[in-house]
Amino acid sequence: MSARYEHFPHEADVGVRGIGPTPADAFAGAALAMTAAITEPDSVRPEIAVAVECRAASLDDLLYDWLNALVFEMATRRMLFGRFEVKIADGVLTGTAWGETVSVARHQPAVEAKGATYTGLRVFEDARGWVAECIVDV
């Protein structure tokens, strides 16, 4: 089973949820959900690879740091990402995000992701597999 994503309702911002067989897959799904709040992920060409590394004491904090690192990379590089690879071991996340420079005409961004929040932040395992979710400020 590969990672997948979905959105969930929130009053002002957007809830992102990644689901997968491992925490790493769920984190990749959460990142894809964040992209999907901005544009259609399949419209983003994987032209440039950007490495991201985060460290945290808990999976919840690691998800928060991962999503915010991606927001930082998108903002400073003026990029969107449509593909993610994540590895998690001993509180360290090493990831790669593939994407391209934003093309307003082609990507038609709906919102700008400003950052992950602690609201609804949780990483857990249930019948679906691993779930990584939080509210993203847009």
Residue-wise pLDDT tens digits, 100-137: 999 999 999 988 899 999 989 999 999 999 999 999 98
SS3 content of the chain, % helix, strand, coil (to 5): 30, 40, 30
Residue-wise pLDDT tens digits, 45-56: 999 999 999 999
4-137, CATH topology level: Archease, Possible Chaperone; Chain: A; domain 1 (3.55.10)
